[in-house]
Structure 1
Amino acid sequence: MAVSGFIARRPVDADFAVLAQMRRDSRLQNETLYVPEDTADAAIRAWMTAAESCVRVVADAEDQAIGFAEVWSVPDTRKAHGRVAILSGRRGQGAGTAALAAVIDVATELGMASLLAEMTPDNSAARGLHLRHGFREVGVLDCHFRDTSGLWRDVLVMQRPLGLSSGRRP
């Protein structure tokens, strides 16, 4: 998938250095509301290819990795979670749009009825990106995420419908 000069594709070995840097970055962990249990090389390589989470690399026009998009399903539902991360120096250029489009496409391909996204309520860039792509705010979870410094953070939950085949709510 290509959006405004960026592509989203499956990870390849050449992406490892950038993805490892991103997975080990505590500031980015706090922004994406996810602190990996293991950031050793083997764990990052396993994450890049894991079947239970669909990872896509966001690459620039030169096919250099500058971020990632990740989708995983919520067990026993037709809901999926999506996560987007872009290197700080490459933000504001359309890469987030490419990443979120990849998340939506993957979740749709998986047959999900809706897509969830979580962010801190003060992350106006992420909030705006998701609102522009059909997400709505569904609530705030108080003290839901413990960041890398040990602080508990509130989490805004957003949801986007992907289509209902059964006519029932997902």
Structure 2
Amino acid sequence: MTNVSFENVLINFGFGTKDEKIKVLTANPEKHVYMDLTCYDPQEFYDEYPQLKGSFAALFADEARKMEIHFLHKEPGVIEKFRELGFSPVETTIVSCGFVFPRTIVQIINEAHFALEEGVASREDINRAMKFGVNYPKGPFEWSEGKELYVKTLLAELLNKTKDRRYVASKLI
């Protein structure tokens, strides 16, 4: 499921690079677009593409399929469409690179990889510590399984945007 269209609305779920996101936006100037911008700064896209009416972060949705969504303009039926697709959208007024949850979880994933690099504990021990120690539904390695590209992309975007070295990715990701 990359794109979902209804009436004059396009919901883009594709991961994609910035260039691929821009292609979707430029190919749909007449649509009201809502786009997964988990790994990017939505404001950069809002400033350039007036058809972008909202952005969301679904790449790290949990079992409950909760995802953050930000609206510049809430088209009737959009929230309902996300629910039909099995998501539980949580509205946010915060517009930032990585939203809140993905930005937090990639830092935890990155720190877990640094701990593994340093031989502090095994993957299993780190996962267990996070699940039983802080009651997370998954351990950091479980969160990142199959999503390493997204983790690296978001960390690189945050590093580029903030110049803060805490966003340098572990070699093990």
Instruction: Compute the TM-score of the two structures, normalised by the length of structure 1.
Output: 0.27
Instruction: Compute the TM-score of the two structures, normalised by the length of structure 2.
Output: 0.26
Which is bigger in relative contact order (C-alpha 8 A, separation at least 6)? Answer: 1
Task: Select the structure of larger CA radius of gyration.
Answer: 2
